[in-house]
Each structure stands twice: as C-alpha cells, then as structure tokens.
Structure 1
Amino acid sequence: MRRYLPFILFILVAFTTSAQQYTLSGRITGQKNEMVPFASVYIRNTTYGTTANEEGHYQLKLSPGTYNVIYRATGYAEQVQKLTIADQPETRDIQLVNEAFKFSQVSDKWKQNMDPGDTIMAKVIARRKQHLEEAGSYSCAVYVKGVQKLLSSPKSLTSKAVRQALDLDSNGRGILYQTEILSNLNVALPNKMHEVTIASKQSGINTAFDYSKASDLQVNFYNDVFKINGLSTRAYLSPIGTDAARHYDYRLVGSTVQNGLTVDKIEVIPKRENGQYFQGNMYIVEGDWRIYSVDLMLTNKHASLNLVDTLKISQQYIPITDSVWMPSAVQINFKGSVLGFKFGGYYQGIYNNYKINPAYPKGYFNGEILKIDTAANLKTAAYWNATRPLPLTRQETRDYQKKDSIAAYQKTDAYLDSIQHTKNNINYFTYTIFGYRASNRAETDSLYIFPFLQTFYYNTVEGFGINAKVRYSHKIDDLHSYSITPALRYGFANKLFSANVHAEYLNDPFHNQKSYIEFGSDVLDLNNVGTRSRYFNTLSTILYENNYVKYYRSQYGGFGFQRELKNGILWSAALQYASRTQMYNNAFGHVVDVKNKEFTSNNPLAPPGTPADDRSFLFPKNQALTFATSVAFTFDQQYVTRPTGKFNLPSKYPTLTVNYRKGIKSAFGSDVDYDFASVDVSQSNIRIGLSGFSSFKLTGGDFFRNNNLYYMDYYHYLGNQGTTFDPTYIGSFHFLPFYTYSTNGAFFEAHYQHNFAGSLLNKIPFIRKLKLEEVIGANYLTTKGNPNYKEFYVGIQRLIFRVDYGISYAGDKKYIQGIRIFYGLR
C-alpha cells in the first residue's frame, strides 16, 4: 500500500487544484461572424494558454482572479480582454477585427533601391543564430491533437459497407483517425531532448502520416533547413536560413502595432518556382528582429511532396522573458487526393508552462528521447474531458464515442469468435510473396508459413526442391516471448533430405536481450554473407542458365546470445559445431536453351570453361567448432522507452562494430584453426543541407592466424551477379562476383552513396512531376590477391523502384558495366 501513497497524494492534490478552477470558454469569430479556427488564447505575462478548435471554440481553466487574456490569430488584430473569474464558469465570445497593415509607417526607413522586406529579413537572418540559442535549455508541457479526415470519395468506389465501416456520411465524408498526446518536453541545446508522454489516445485507422510524439512538431524556422517527417526525403530551406537571401525574395506588405510592438508582415517569395522552398508570410518584430508568427506553406506542385498536395505550417511565438520567445502553438494543416479520394486534416501543438534554463540533474539526457508512461493508454474519457486544452468539435466527439464503443465491442468474446475464422483465411496471392500468418484471437499464439517463393525452388545441385518452413511464436507476456522455426528440405535430383530447427527466446526487451539455439542439417550457400535469394536463383538458373549460387551441406548445432550492455553498446556471441561436406551439380534443366551459355561448376574456384558436372576438389569433409562475437558501439544512441521495451532510433553519428571469430582446433574433433578480426564503421542518412543525404560503410580485417580453414570460413562479400540487385544495404556491391574475391587474408572495403532526393531533377520541367531521386555511389575493395577493385554508379529511384547504371574496374582494367534493377523483391 505504501508504494501507492505518492500516486494517491498526487491525485488528491490534482483534484483539489482542479476543484478551485473554472472554465473560461467561448467562440472566436471574425468581422463577418465567420469562425476563426485555431486562434491562440493565452494569459498575458504567463506561458499558459490554449487554442481554439476547428469551429472557433476555446476553453481555458483558470483559478479565481483577474486576468488579461490575449486573443491572437494570423490576419487579425490582437485583442486583449480583461476579465475576472469568480466562483463559476465564464463565457466570453470574441469577435476579432481584420488586421490593417500599413506600409506608410516604415516606407521612409529603408534603402530606396530595394524592397524594405529584403532589409528587414536581412536583419532577422543576421540574428538567426542568436534567437536559435537564446534559451540554452527549457521545459514545457505539450498537448498534440491530430485529425485525419476523408473530405469526399467517389461513389463508384465507396460502397454502403465501406461507408458504414469507416463511419462516412452519404457524401463519403468522415473522420478516419484521431490522436491526442499529453507530454512533458525537456530540451537542452543543441540536440538533447527528453520527453515523457503521460497520456495518449488514438481512434480509427492512420492512413497518412503520424506525429506520435511532441518532438515531431518541433518545427523551428531558426534552423537553416529542416525535414518534414513522412512527407518527403528532401530538406526544405527556412526563409531565414543563413543562405536564404539567395533563394527568396521578400516583400513588405505592411506594419502594425501589436501589444506595443511593431510587427512587419513579410511576404516570402521563392526566386524559383520549383524547389525546396516555402511560400507565404512571416511576421517579424521590429527592433528585436525575431519571429512573431509564421504562416507558410509547401505544395506538391512546387515542392514535390509525397502523400499530400498542400502542407500549411502556422506558428505563434510569445515572450517567455524579456529576451526569450518560444512557440505557444504550432499547426500543420494538410490536404491531398488519391484516386478520387480527397482527404485532409491537421496536427495541432499547444505549449504551456515554459521554464527557461531549468536545472537538470547530471545524466538526465541519457539518450532516452521519449518515455511512454505505463498508464498512458489507459486514461479514461473523464480524464481527457478534464485535461485536454483543445475542445473537441461535435464531429470529433461523436467519432470518439462511436469508435470507443466499437473498440469495446471488438474485445468481447462474441466478436472475437465471429472474426476468428475470417481473420485467418488465406489469400493465395499474398501468401506467394509475403507468406501466411494465422493467430489465436488473443494474438498470443501465431503460426507463420514462409512464402511460396521461398518454398519451391530449383538449382543445379538439388534440382527441383522443397524447403517447407514455418515459425510458431508464443507471447508469454509483454516482456517475454519465444519462437520455434522448423524446416524440412528435400532435393529431388540428389535425393537429399535435410531438417533443422531454430528456437529463439526474448526475455528482456529493455536491453535487446535474446538467446537462440539451433541444430539439424541444411544445404547452405558457400558465401555466408548471402548471394541471391532462392527465388531469383531459380529464375536465373531455369531461364538463363546462370547457376550463380554454390552450395555445400552442413550438419550443425549451436547457440547464441545478445544483450545491450549499456545504451549504445550491443554485444553478441555464438558457438557452433558443424560437419561440412562438398556438393556437386546433379541437374541441368532449363526452359530456354541460351546460345553460347553453359552451367558452371559448383566449385566457385574452378577455372572458366570447367564443365557443369565437374567433381573437382574444393575442400575435404571437415568438422568445425567456431566461436564468434561482436560489439557494436552506437555513439549518442537515442531511443524510445515503451511499456513493452526499448526501441533504438537511428543515430546522427557512425556505428563502430568490432568482430572476432575463432576456429577452435581439436576440440570435439574440430579441424579448423584460425583467428579472424575485423572492424567496420558505418552511418546512414547523413543530411547534407538541401542536397540530400549520404551513407557510407568502411570495413577492414585480417586472418591474423590461419593455420587451417576452409572455403566457407573465408571472409566473403555481399556481391551481385545478374540484372537485379538489392540496394537497401549500403555494404553491397553492384558487379562483384559472389565468390571470386573471398579471402583468407587481409582486406579493406569501402562503400559510399549519396541520394540527392530530387534536388537536381526537380529543376527539369515535366521530369519533376515524376518525383525521382538521383543516386550516385562508389564501392571499393582490395585484398592480397585482388587489389583495387572499384565500382562507380549513377541511378534514379522512386519509392521501392530503382535503376542504376554502373561500371567496375579490376585494377586498371574495365571489368563489367551495365544496368541493375530493384523493384522491391530480394
């Protein structure tokens, strides 16, 4: 009972405090009685406030007293109302007046040979860094509200059943998704952040993009560039970025006086019609030369957005101290259309109770950027009604009520029983590519059948074959689970049967801890890094007589373990014993007899021209006991802590991985005797201003003792043969043969790739509509026997599709050149 006393005390204090507060509410309209959505409402000389909802309604809880309440919206004159809260709720409807910006007030202040807006913005840009860093650290409470709506839909594609399922009206309109978040946000410049989500609520189906934490709405125009998550791979240039004057023109619309401050309205005009630029208006405080508010937008037509057609960003700043201003509200409004379905919505952030330069304890910013309270998703409707600062509209309230009722019904035994059979029905098309999954109604037990494309295959060693593989998973609780994956394999040409089992146990998701055990027999690739999937090898073998993959047989047993020793330090280790046997070609079937083309030997080191039925010696039957371990250091590792575990996020810094592998001689008859070590450094998605992002990987290693090892023990590379390739991993080659360069000595490989994210092709009319991304890259490898292998390539990419053209050199001689294609399948 004692451990619950602090919580009970907190509830009592909160209840007592809320009991002394009363609600100030009303509706905000314009001069023509039109609603003014999302207007800011806050108490002067405080950092406490709210915004109105889509219909102009607002609510603010206040203790008894007298207040100066500021009502503020872009395009309207700021209004201050003095009111007194006694012992009952207060209603105050507000009618805002259109703002009158007068040019004459400032027309004589600036140089005659340029627009005053250019001079004003030059002063803002000069103070950009000062305003960016004026609050070294801060904390605040953040409320985020998101709504996604279907605005209209074609009747031919929207049946009655679909309208009922999505709760749409007769015109195909309705709310698809709602989300609310209450968080405490803590920030220390330049890049430290820690957020605690104390309440979270979702309803419906997210069909577009989602800002699932308050930090996602940290839209700061004092930064030079920033990326809008989920909508583009490109970065966009702030109108007050260091280099902004080269890309924007600025026009002074006029000036006005707000709360004793002269505020200039500046129209932001991109110099080029298409590019990574905003358009709209910024409002600047004269003298301080800082942002007062922002009303900017991006369009798909000019800025190559994904998913949406227009994106509007509105932001209001308020003074926290005499020298520090911070956002009081930010809104992202979007609209788009897909196949005749028109959608739109918004994400609204409200910031309260700022504290500037609070005293954070040592070690407070430890990489955990978000922690979700264990009870965050359990808050009741009464809790939200009492705490949300943004009142719900009638439509939003109705949507919550209906979907909450549906969600409650979907947890009943009657519903779960009724959908169990339907949920587990098999779709043969999706099974062919993605596999089939069935589960019990509680989702604690599931069975996954691997795809048809991985089950039936053909190769020259086994002929046609079956690799029947399933995975059974059981969830013990939120923190413990295990899976068992048995596989049966049979080759019809060599009449060889294999069977193996892999079992994995996850028991500490807060430290990424898992262990596994495996044993059995299998037919494996001689290149342990991987070559072509069974699907692509089957196609290339049957259709083109390219039997690229070379196999051997292994009877093995082993176990492994992984754990994060400390945030950013991941350790893994494995011990395996195997009996390995060389295999030979037994089948030579093909659909098309390709002229001047023959199958190759299953010995990858056999010289060119060796017949396909070659039985040349590659290695004797051997036994190998091997130990492998690695430690990965991710610098400044950031992560999210959920009630179900720790989830690491990509780091802004490289990851360093140290690997060691040992062949243990004599133990249990083991024949191998070697020591191998390597180090690699890698990083992905390094943002390079407006010019896209880069990725790289560097790896070097050596067998510093190689008394006895066999071909499968060599260090192998992720090469590529054939027209298709897999560009999703930065450490792969475009043209390197799978086996030729494998080594038992020292090596060094380097990979670099840059994605321009459309910043070049966007300058070409018509081409820009395709939203293509330009890619360039280079790969390098040197070993003792094969020095200075190089590749250079260029490519274009759109979503999962990519086409590259490249050329490779072996030493100083041109080796291979050609086109490589990727279309989502590996």
Structure 2
Amino acid sequence: MSNKGLFTAFLTILSIVSFAQVKIQGKVFDAVSGKPISYADIRLPELKVGTTTNSDGSFYIESATSTNKLSITKSGYVNYDYEIVDLIDFSFIAELDPKPEDNSKDFIDDSGDGISLQGATVTGKKKQRLKKKENPAYAILKEVWARRKSNGLKMVPQYSYNEYEKLQFDISNIDSAFMKKKIFKGFEFVFEKIDTSSINGKTYLPAFLNESIYKIEGINKPKTQERRELKANKTSGFENNEVVAATVKNLFKDINIYDNRLNFLNIKFVSPIATDGFAVYDYELKDTIDIDGIETYRIKYFPRREGELTFKGDMYISKDSYAVKSIDLETTKDMNVNFVRNIFMQLDYDVANDSVFYPKKEYAMLDMTILSKKESSKGLFAHKTVNYYNYDFDSRQPDVYYSERIDPAMSSVNVQSKEYWAENRPEALTKDQEGIYETLDQLNEVPKFNRFVKTIEVLGSGYYRVGNIDIGNLYSSFGYNKIEGLRLRAGARTYFSQNDMWRAQGFLAYGFDDDKFKYGADVRYMFNKFNRFQIGAGTKRDVEQMAAQLTSSDGIMTRSFASSSIINQGDNFFLSSNNLTNVYTSIEPWKNVIFRLDGNYQRIKPASREHFSIAYDKNGVVQENLTNSSVSFSVIAKPGAKYSQYGIDRVEMSTLAPTLMLRYTKGLKGVIDSDFEYDKVQFLYTQPILVGSLGRSLMTVEAGKTFQGVPLSLLSAIPGNESYGQVYGTFSQLDYYEFVTDEYVTMNWEHHFNGWILNKIPLIKELKLREVGFLRAAYGDISDKSKAINRSTINYTAPNQQIYYEYGFGIENIGWGNIRPIRIDFNWRGNYNNLPDVRKFGVTLGLQWDF
C-alpha cells in the first residue's frame, strides 16, 4: 500500500474512533474541460449542512449524523446528486456537466411572505454574470441595508448577560510519520487525542485549552459603563497560560457584521453585507431555510476576483425583519496574509425585532502555519468560541457598581469545581477537549517535554531561567559601535512568577575598543494592583546616542538603537557617556491613564573627546561636561489598550489603541551642582489606523519646546538615522545632530497598502509583495540664547526656513515560503539639499513580522 493509502486508512480509523458519521473530502471538476470548479455548493440536504468549494475545487464536509445524500450545485452546471456509499471518504471526486447556454430558471418566493422576487432570473449561462439589479439576492440585501440593525445592548437603559468563552490551540496536520519522530519518545500517549477538523478535515492534536465564564453588566444612561467580572477560569496548565490565552484571544477582534469592513488580524476584509459588496462578491439566492423557527433566505456568496481580502460562505437573512440570523465566513486560499492559511467564522444572532439584534454565539478558527502555506505542512489551529446567554434587561445596580475596578488577579485564578463547570457550561466539551487537562498534567511530568517548553520560552522572551533569576536579555548580548568596538553585555532579573509585584534587574557591559565597563541596575515595587501605584530607583553608566529620540524614556534599562548599529552609512562618533540616576513613582487612577513623576540626576560627557564635543559657555568658562538635575511629570493615556498579566511588568497586546503623552520637565539649577534651570514641555501622539480596504496607516506626531537657553545635551535634535536599518520615528536622510532645536514639531506617517496595488498586476501578484508609502516632516527653531552658549563641534542648524521633509516608498513581504519578513525602503530627501555632505537618496532594510 502506498504512503497516501496508509494515511487515508489512518484517517478512516481515526474518524471511526472519534464517532463522526460522515466525513467527505474531495474535489469537483468540470466534466468537459477537466478544470476544477470553484465555489460550488456542497450540501447534505437532509441535514441542512453545507460548504463551498475552494478556488481549486477542493472541499471538506462533515456531520455527526449519518445521511446517504450529497448534492453539488453550481450556476451553469447540471445538479449533481450522489448517494453516499462510504460515510468516510477522503478521496471523493465529482464531475459536473455544463448546462446548455439557453437554460435558465426563475427563483420564485411562493411562501406568501417577504418581498416579491418573481420574475428575477438566475441565468444558466456558465460564465455570464447577472447584472446587480437582476440578481434576486440584490433585492434582499437592499432591504438589509435599508434596515441596518444595531446591537440591542446599546439601546436599552441597562443590561446583563453571561458570556462563556473557550480558547483552544491545536497542532495541525498530524500524520503517522510525525508521530514516529524521536522527539515524541516517552509521551506517545498524547496522540490518543488526535481528531479531524470539521472545517477542513485536517488532523489535529489539542495542545491548549482555556475556559472562562464572565458576568457582564452595563448601563447606557446617564453614561455608558460596563462591568466585566470573571466568575470562573480554567486552563490546561502551562506556566504562562495567561499570556497564551491573551495572545489567542487577541488574534480575534470583535466585529459587527453590518460594517462595510471587518477587522481580522488588524487587516480590513470586505464584509459580505457591505453596501459595496456587489463590486467584490457574486451572490446567489439558493433557497429558504427555517432556523430556530424563523424563515430565512439562504444566500451563497463568493469573491469575484482572486487574491482580494474577501470571504466565501452562506448568509441567512430573516424574511420578516431582513436581519442577519446566521452567517458563515471563510477566506480563500489565495489571500495575501502571512502565517494564516484560512480564517473561518460563524456568527449566530437572536433577532429581537425590526431594529435590534443580540449576539447569540460566535465561533472562529485560524489555520496558522509558520514555514509554508502548503496544505500538508504542520501548523496551528487557534479556536475561539463564545456563547452569550441569560440576558436580563430589567435588573439594575447602583451606578457606582458599574465603574468599580475589579481585582485583575482574578484573571489567573482557577477557583471553581468540576461540578460548577458541568452545571454552568452552556455547551458540553467534546471528548478530546475533556481530555486536554488530564493529558497536559501528564505531559508536565515528562522531562523531555519540560525541556522543549523551556526552549520555546527562552526563544520567545530572550531570558533563560535559573531558579528565580532570569539571565538575559540574550538578544542584547552583542553590539558594536565606533567608540566601544565590539560590545558584550550580560544581564539578569528576578522572576518568581509572571505577576511579580516587584522586580530587580541589572546589566554589565564591556567595550573592547574603549576598554571600559558599563553597568546599570534598578529595582521597582508595585503596592497596589488596582491602580498600579509603584515606585522605583536605578542608576546606569553607559554609552548612548542621545540624538536618536525626541521623547526619550527615563528608564534605566533602555538603550538607543544607534548605540549598537553594526552597519552604518558613515562613522558615528557622536556618542555620549551618560551617567544617570533615576527615581520615580507612578499611578494609574483610571484604566489606561498613567501619572508618572521622575527625578533625574545625570552627568553627560562625550564618549570620545577626539571626535565629538558638547562644550558650552558657563559664565565665560568653557565646560565640556554637563551636570543636570531635573524633575518631570508625565501623563500617558492609552485608551483601548489591552494587557495580559497584572504585575510590575505586563505584556501589551497588539491593538489599534492610540498613545498620548504630555510631559513637563523642570531643570533644577544648583541642585547637586546642576548647571542649568529650564522648563521643557513635550507632547507625543501615535496610532495605527485601518483605512478600509486600502490598508493600515501608522501616524506619529511629536512636539516640544524648551523655554530657556541650554547646551547641546539638553536640546532636542531632530532624530537622524545613519544606519542602513529602518527605525520608525527617525529621519533616514538626516545625520545625528544635523538639525538641533529647542522647539519642534515632527510628523511620521507610513501607509501599508497590504498589496492593494501589486495584487492587481498579473504575474507580480503571485509574489505576494506589498507596497508601503511614507512621509516624514519636521519644523523647528533654536533660540539665540541657546546658540550663544554653544561651544561644541556641532553647528546649530534648525529647519526654520521651511518644513524639512522626506518621502519614499517601500516593498515589503519579501522572503521565501511563508517567511516574508524583509522590507526595502527607497528614501528621498525633499529639501535643505544645499547643506554640506547631505544624503539625497538612500536605501534602508528592515525586518517586520506582520500578518
């Protein structure tokens, strides 16, 4: 027997063991041309179960209930009715005969309800597309658009309901060869849990499961407030399960099916309910189906063109209210999204009346892969299931109850019994899900498995744990610059749990050219996990590039990228030796709003006096070193930001949340021999923005002003970039200290088109490249007072005659297979080209791991 035959036999046995009654996988072809038929309708008519073929004609259909009928239909072809012989068939082939070109039929809604569709013609011509207004589905969707529904939770004075959430990770495409690998010796028992996906028929091994039950209560008057309280939480037992669960959850965004564009992975897909849907989708009205006692129209939809961010599937529209009762969304195989082969989502709604709906159930699945998008390659399934139930619109608590902050530690506590879960789950776990907890408990007792998990943790975090100490960050162990030459760095931090309320950390570094040691250490403690009130203190002595950021961090452990650039466009000797001591306190009185107070004492001098000077005039005496004591107060807001963990260090999830910061700094002359008194105000705003089907923008605006004359080290240099690497927020065609200001406004904007242009070009689109455009601008000035005290080797020049700007474009998503991290930018300098030794054009390279 061939390997393919052995694997088919393996799947068959597996299917019987897992109690599935019908599993059919195959392809549909044109009987005349032999070409695959895309987007054909595959149904088990007696069970009302269906799917649609992919662009290559392939399909998979499954049902837990047995049946003996399978039907395949496609506009322009004769219906294919098949009597099922083998309930388990993974090599099914169907050939459809084209209809004569003059064949046509009418769809007539003869139920007596709804709009009249009689006379709307569905053509039988194989390749002829109906005009929009001739399509019976258009009349239905037109009513849906006219009566666009709203989520009823936002239209009542108060509400409460329960939410059950289930998150799951699986290893996909498990085969017999994979199971025989030596790496699994000693824990072969895990393969007892293998099953096949009901979405695509691929085998999978459950690896992680998290369950949560929430009580959600909210009010909309006098103002909108919502309380989300965790009642129960249960995970499969990995040490960092909170981060894993948050990562899985963050892969899935909340969507409103009535929006024209739907956010998946921070990429906008065209909704099949979009008012402009007929420009990108074909629609076919198939039949009427009863769902929960409600008569619905079943409309099949699929994309008109390949490679666009669209879906295929079925939607079910209520005949009475023209609301979406249920909808399936599945991406096509040729979508230009990295690391994801398929996205599937099923949404079910309760239709309350003509104007509102309530979410009932959501199921979403991502078929993810790292190395290759081939269907046979190993990967991960990420699942999310949400049930909404026990709606109550009458009960109301005191208004202060809804704004009360809930203990964040509850997110990591498993407090409920098996009996509680059995009673409160709205749907039972499958047999394989029930065994995950037990299996992973067994796995945690296998030394080889623990070593494997530890390796993954090290690669992900950059830290190697020894007892309660983390060694690292390992990714910062090596560096290079013109002053230090080769630089080696070793660091460590305390780590007792993922939610430590205190942390101490430090590093020691050595430069082989300057023959000097550098060091840094700090300790931080958080008193309250509700408002995150914390204090900290630290000190460091290090070599840094102080002209690489405008809104710099006061943190001790941070380091400028420009201090360790390996390949530069020129020699960078403009480095400073920074001896900094910092104490701070911060508090988060409102969610995602932080107040922070810093006290800094620093001594700054050139890292190499031979090449660089920061000299200034102090009362007629030229000083080379600077002593600066200052205090700063910052307000940092991140509305909408999401985090996992709640300790002193927490992990921010990728969202579209903006960041706003306002900082005031006061220089304290005479305090510990500080040289200058000054007042400085800075502002920062940055936000990713989805722009419909055109992609994603990232916008950053920074502004600041220093009100007194100060020397170079306290001024604001427009951040240059002398490396060949891409660093967002810097100006690639500027040298360090080329523009020096004491008042400035800068803007950085880049837009990622996600292949919106290149995907439309034949042959080029096969490369799945993506285009990016960018614009950078800066305006600033420097006062006569600051110029007057300058004695450095830097000639103070500010972009005050006109706005300095750079522009360009880039090609991203360059790589091989499914690994496409490379981006190449082509940068042009827009003006100030009369200055000496300017770089008018440059090419920069970068790495980015985006979907």
Q: Give the TM-score, by structure 2 length.
A: 0.69
Matched, 1:579 2:603: yes
The counterpart of 1:448, out of the listed 454, 467, 471, is 471
Distance 1:692 1:492 in 2: 46
Matched, 1:704 2:704: no
Deviates more, 1:236-245 or 1:257-266: 257-266
Tell me the equivalent position of 2:627: 623
Deviations 1:18-68 (A, max 9, x none): xxxxxxxxxxxxxx994699xxxxxxxxxxxxxxxxxxxxxxxxxxxxxxx
Deviations 1:722-769 (A, max 9, x none): 321223xxx3222222211122x2222112222223333332344444
Tell me the equivalent position of 1:482: 503
Change (3 A) 1:99 1:605: farther
Tell me the equivalent position of 2:761: 764
The counterpart of 2:464, out of the listed 437, 444, 451, is 437
Tell me the equivalent position of 2:314: 281
Tell me the equivalent position of 1:733: 731
Change (3 A) 1:675 1:419: same
Deviates more, 1:518-527 or 1:664-673: 518-527
Tell me the matched-pair count: 689
Distance 1:299 1:344 in 2: 17
Tell whether the 8 Å contact from 1:692 to 1:759 is kept in structure 2 after alignment.
yes
Tell me the equivalent position of 1:596: none
Q: How does 1:133-148 map onto structure 2 within 5 Å?
A: 135-136=155-156, 138-147=159-168, 148=170
Tell me the equivalent position of 2:272: 239
State the SS of the aligned residue for 2:612. Answer: coil
Matched, 1:536 2:573: no
Distance 2:456 2:108 in 1: 72
Tell me the equivalent position of 1:7: none
The counterpart of 1:390, out of the listed 427, 444, 451, is 427
Tell whether the 8 Å contact from 2:777 to 2:804 is kept in structure 1 after alignment.
yes
State the SS of the aligned residue for 1:128. Answer: coil
- Residue 818 of structure 1 deviates from its aligned partner by 2.1
Change (3 A) 1:779 1:360: farther
- Residue 454 of structure 1 deviates from its aligned partner by 4.2
Tell me the equivalent position of 1:162: 184
Distance 1:739 1:289 in 2: 63
State the SS of the aligned residue for 1:550. Answer: coil
State the SS of the aligned residue for 1:220. Answer: coil
The counterpart of 2:809, out of the listed 794, 797, 821, is 794
Deviations 1:494-532 (A, max 9, x none): x55555543333444433444332346443434373764
Matched, 1:267 2:267: no
The counterpart of 1:749, out of the listed 719, 739, 746, is 746
Matched, 1:183 2:206: no
- Residue 236 of structure 1 deviates from its aligned partner by 1.2
The counterpart of 1:352, out of the listed 371, 381, 389, is 389
Distance 2:311 2:519 in 1: 60
Give 1:664's aligned amino acid. L
Distance 2:413 2:463 in 1: 33
Tell me the equivalent position of 1:694: 697
- Residue 291 of structure 1 deviates from its aligned partner by 1.4
Tell me the equivalent position of 1:64: none
Deviates more, 1:695-704 or 1:190-199: 190-199
- Residue 97 of structure 1 deviates from its aligned partner by 11
Change (3 A) 1:252 1:479: same
State the SS of the aligned residue for 1:690. Answer: helix
Distance 2:345 2:653 in 1: 26
The counterpart of 1:307, out of the listed 319, 339, 358, is 339
State the SS of the aligned residue for 1:584. Answer: coil
Q: How does 1:491-640 map onto structure 2 within 5 Å?
A: 492-493=513-514, 495-519=515-539, 521-527=541-547, 529=549, 532-537=561-566, 539-540=567-568, 546-584=570-608, 601-603=611-613, 619-635=623-639
Tell whether the 8 Å contact from 1:688 to 1:694 is kept in structure 2 after alignment.
yes
Distance 2:690 2:328 in 1: 26
Tell me the equivalent position of 1:683: 686
Tell whether the 8 Å contact from 2:108 to 2:119 is kept in structure 1 after alignment.
no
Tell whether the 8 Å contact from 1:482 to 1:506 is kept in structure 2 after alignment.
no
Distance 1:341 1:317 in 2: 34
Change (3 A) 1:687 1:357: farther
Q: How does 1:366-385 map onto structure 2 within 5 Å?
A: 366=403, 373=410, 376-385=413-422
Tell me the equivalent position of 1:19: none
- Residue 99 of structure 1 deviates from its aligned partner by 12
- Residue 661 of structure 1 deviates from its aligned partner by 2.1
Give 2:825's aligned amino acid. D
| Structure 1: gaps spanning 5 or more residues | 1-31, 38-70, 77-92, 587-600, 607-616
Matched, 1:203 2:236: yes
The counterpart of 1:470, out of the listed 471, 488, 491, is 491
Tell whether the 8 Å contact from 2:660 to 2:686 is kept in structure 1 after alignment.
no
Tell whether the 8 Å contact from 2:349 to 2:360 is kept in structure 1 after alignment.
yes
- Residue 561 of structure 1 deviates from its aligned partner by 2.5
Tell me the equivalent position of 2:88: none
Change (3 A) 1:516 1:317: closer
Tell me the equivalent position of 2:261: 225
State the SS of the aligned residue for 1:119. Answer: helix
- Residue 218 of structure 1 deviates from its aligned partner by 4.2
Change (3 A) 1:226 1:188: farther
Give 2:231's aligned amino acid. I
Tell whether the 8 Å contact from 1:526 to 1:551 is kept in structure 2 after alignment.
yes
Give 1:448's aligned amino acid. I
Give 1:625's aligned amino acid. S
Aligned-residue identity in percent: 19
Tell me the equivalent position of 1:26: none
Tell whether the 8 Å contact from 1:469 to 1:488 is kept in structure 2 after alignment.
yes
State the SS of the aligned residue for 1:579. Answer: strand
Tell whether the 8 Å contact from 1:374 to 1:643 is kept in structure 2 after alignment.
no
State the SS of the aligned residue for 1:472. Answer: strand
**RMSD across aligned positions (CA):** 4.6
State the SS of the aligned residue for 2:272. Answer: coil
Give 2:691's aligned amino acid. I
- Residue 821 of structure 1 deviates from its aligned partner by 0.5
State the SS of the aligned residue for 1:705. Answer: coil
Tell whether the 8 Å contact from 1:225 to 1:237 is kept in structure 2 after alignment.
yes
- Residue 220 of structure 1 deviates from its aligned partner by 3.2
Tell me the equivalent position of 1:15: none
State the SS of the aligned residue for 1:118. Answer: helix
The counterpart of 2:670, out of the listed 645, 666, 671, is 666
State the SS of the aligned residue for 2:308. Answer: coil
Distance 1:477 1:299 in 2: 39
Tell whether the 8 Å contact from 2:349 to 2:359 is kept in structure 1 after alignment.
yes
Deviations 1:142-185 (A, max 9, x none): 22334425342472685143265472269985322333222224
Deviations 1:340-388 (A, max 9, x none): 3266574333221123476465366659799673674233434333433
Matched, 1:109 2:133: no
Distance 2:208 2:456 in 1: 28
- Residue 619 of structure 1 deviates from its aligned partner by 4.8
Tell me the equivalent position of 2:287: 254
Deviations 1:448-482 (A, max 9, x none): 244476446452x45x4655442231549945222
| Structure 2: gaps spanning 5 or more residues | 1-18, 25-45, 52-63, 74-105, 111-115, 122-132, 195-202, 550-558, 782-797, 814-819
Change (3 A) 1:321 1:243: closer
Deviations 1:619-653 (A, max 9, x none): 52343222233222445666678699987767766
Deviations 1:386-413 (A, max 9, x none): 4333233333333332223444x47xxx
Tell me the equivalent position of 2:440: 403
State the SS of the aligned residue for 2:310. Answer: coil
Distance 1:738 1:157 in 2: 56
Give 1:802's aligned amino acid. R
Give 1:553's aligned amino acid. S
State the SS of the aligned residue for 1:309. Answer: strand
Distance 1:437 1:353 in 2: 46
Distance 2:766 2:434 in 1: 39
Change (3 A) 1:36 1:366: farther
Tell me the equivalent position of 2:125: none
Tell me the equivalent position of 2:556: none
